[in-house]
Chain A
Amino acid sequence: MLTPPVREVLDDARNPLGVAGIEFIEYATAKPQAFGQVLETMGFRPVARHRSREVLLYRQGEMNIIVNAHGGSLARTVQPGDTPVIAAMALRVRDAGEAYRQALGRGAWAVPTTVEVMELNIPAIHGVGATRIYFVDRYRDFSIYDVDFVHIPGVDAQPPALTGLHWYGVVQYIGNDRMEDWSEFYGELFGFHALPDEERHGILPKGRILASPCGTFFLQLIEPEPGILDLDGEESWQRIGLGTPDVLATVKALRERGVAFVESAGVHTETRGALTRSSLGGVMFELVHDGR
């Protein structure tokens, strides 16, 4: 049989793991209550508690944030400190086991699992610094939280998103001369691709933006300022970006809840985006105009 000529990139080649968005972002912090208050001002609600560890699930709309105060003993694990830091990102994929095997086959580091009895084994690989990237395929009829978490009684398990907030992406700080390495890493393992330089969203357009293969979220890679000596070259996920159809309406709603925004000559609230002021020693959230 003749093979028909290839005239287009088929979906499978562009998105080999079937990535379909962010399932959750996990923060590590030794001050889970203080950080919980920050999340609540941002519109998140605590909805469930982990069965065996000091871990809480916050939610609004489609977004799940896990707040983990439990360090763990594995090497290359983000240890909770006073300032909450992003410790993990979970990607929705077509088949978690298959995604995990494919990623390992292309050069990802497996994270050893340490599940307790009756807990879900969520496959994970190492990300930037000590972070992890989880693969989750149970997000439609059945959710991972049904197994490992207990719902907090009397709380709406599906709190609506404030002013249409949704995942926009994650900002990653990288070391000097590391732009190509990380672009290749996300491209090779997951199918991310760089946006053209002229295509920028929000108010902080630095660096390079990588679009997820499903096109629903972004990673922004930011190098140190030129001329700044980067002694330790530390790399991390610095902040999350939240998309909103109306930045000004979201800013107004958040201000009423007590959130403060950066208003300087360089960075200030406008229709394209906004940046919350740093709290708890460095946590900030970026708002980006995004009509979805």
Chain B
Amino acid sequence: MAIELFDIREFGMDTISLAGTLPAKLAAVRAAGFSQIMLMARDLVSHPAGIEDAVREVQASGLRVTGFQVLRDFEGLSAHLHDYKVEVAKAMLEMCHAVGSKVLLVCSSTSTHATGDPDVLARDLRKLAMLAVPLGIRIAYEGLSWGRSINEFTTAWDVVCRADVPNLGLGIDSFHAVASRTSLEELDLLDPSKIFLVQLADFMWHDVPSAAERIETARHFRVFPGEGVHSEQIAELVRRLDRLGYRGDYSFEVFNDDYQQMPLPMVAERARRAAVWLGEDVLHRSVPLPGRMRLRR
């Protein structure tokens, strides 16, 4: 493993970029020099030996869990649909807790059954945040670029502000910000302490005007930062967040069908190159920053 001039601990990989078994993914991420990993529920529930063994493997890997994903279409439902989603949310929270993750990612609803009333969305997210309190989990709410009523980080932020609860904050995904052409100047209006997770990915097309194109691209054709055609915007997003005072994690949220059929070390190496690009060329990190040693949360 190459020795970097800076510390890549603020960047992490996501299991969705890698094929294979959970232990193989953990080993590849670790071998590439990362110290954290973003997990998805499927990593645990599809483990052949069961959830408990999956949790043990994650713990034994020594990797810190950046966050756990993803709760979908939760907010804005009523009656039995709401009750059903609360049960789903509880299962996600329990797995998130079991695997030692402090962040649960929640994507804005795409459901046509959900209301768009921001106060109702806020009320539901507030309830979700309360469910998360005893388990020590923070909820990162992300505006999917094809979300039904919340589809940018700006509108997601509005809902987070309306809910006004300490353990509910924003998840920002560079893909959605770039795809929906949200002005990155809007980032300056956010409270950095309420950004609980930043996910980074680029893609190969210049434009994804329709929701269908965004979904297709987001799920199959993302690439690591520095590999796509929006490097400048990703660099700007990261610089703005850094200037704003965001000191949390950056996770590479790269869904890519090609990476799913490449050897794991090769994909992890691409992720490492992305971390080096961001750390050296974008953020100009040279040595571990004093004060980067933090108490575990």
Interface residues in chain A, defined as those with a beta carbon under 8 Å from any beta carbon in chain B:
105-109, 126-129, 175-178, 180-185, 188-189, 229-231, 233, 235
Contact = CB atoms under 8 A, between A and B. Distances in A.
Interface residues of B, number: 16
A188 B168 CA distance: 14
Given A107-B127, A181-B166, A184-B165, A235 B136 contact: yes
B296 A107 contact: no
Interface in B171-198: none
Given A181-B166, A184-B166, A231 B127 contact: no
Interface string B125-168: 01111110110100000000000000000000000000001110
A266 B133 CA distance: 33
B67 to A, nearest CB: 16
12 contacts: A106-B130, A107-B127, A107-B133, A109-B90, A109-B134, A129-B134, A177-B297, A185-B133, A185-B134, A229-B295, A229-B296, A233-B296
A213 B130 CA distance: 19
A107 B128 contact: yes
B134 A126 contact: yes
Interface string B25-69: 000000000000000000000000000000000000000000000
8 nearest CB pairs, A to B: A107-B130, A180-B166, A107-B127, A185-B133, A107-B131, A181-B167, A181-B133, A181-B166
A177 B166 CA distance: 10
A108 B130 contact: yes
A185 B127 CA distance: 10
A182 B296 contact: no
Contacts of A189: 130
Contacts of A176: 295-297
A106 B127 contact: yes
Contacts of A181: 133, 136, 166-167
B277 to A, nearest CB: 31
A185 B130 contact: yes
B133 A184 contact: yes
Contacts of A184: 129-130, 133, 165-167
B84 to A, nearest CB: 15
A188 B123 CA distance: 12
Contacts, number: 56
A233 B130 CA distance: 19
Contacts of A233: 136, 296-297
Contacts of A128: 134
A231 B134 contact: no
Given A178-B136, A184-B165, 13 more contacts: A106-B127, A107-B126, A107-B127, A107-B128, A127-B134, A129-B134, A181-B166, A184-B133, A184-B167, A188-B126, A230-B295, A230-B296, A233-B296
Given A176-B297, A177-B297, A229-B296, A182 B133 contact: yes
Interface string B214-242: 00000000000000000000000000000
B151 to A, nearest CB: 25
Nearest to A104: B86
A231 B296 contact: yes
A269 B284 CA distance: 56
Nearest to A127: B134
A210 B133 CA distance: 17
Nearest to B129: A107
Q: Which of A107, A176, A181 has the most CB of B within 10 A?
A: A107
B102 to A, nearest CB: 9
B290 to A, nearest CB: 16
Contacts of B133: 107, 181-182, 184-185
Contacts of A180: 166-167
Nearest to A175: B136
Contacts of A235: 136
Contacts of B129: 107, 184
B134 to A, nearest CB: 6
Interface string B241-280: 0000000000000000000000000000000000000000
Contacts of B165: 184, 188
A185 B165 CA distance: 9
A104 B22 CA distance: 35
B180 to A, nearest CB: 30
Q: Which of B126, B130, B133, B297 has the most CB of A within 10 A?
A: B133
Interface in B92-148: 126-131, 133-134, 136
Contacts of B297: 175-177, 233
A104 B175 CA distance: 36
B62 to A, nearest CB: 14
Nearest to A105: B127
Contacts of B166: 180-181, 183-184
Contacts of A175: 136, 297
Nearest to A185: B133
B179 to A, nearest CB: 32
Contacts of B136: 175, 178, 181, 233, 235
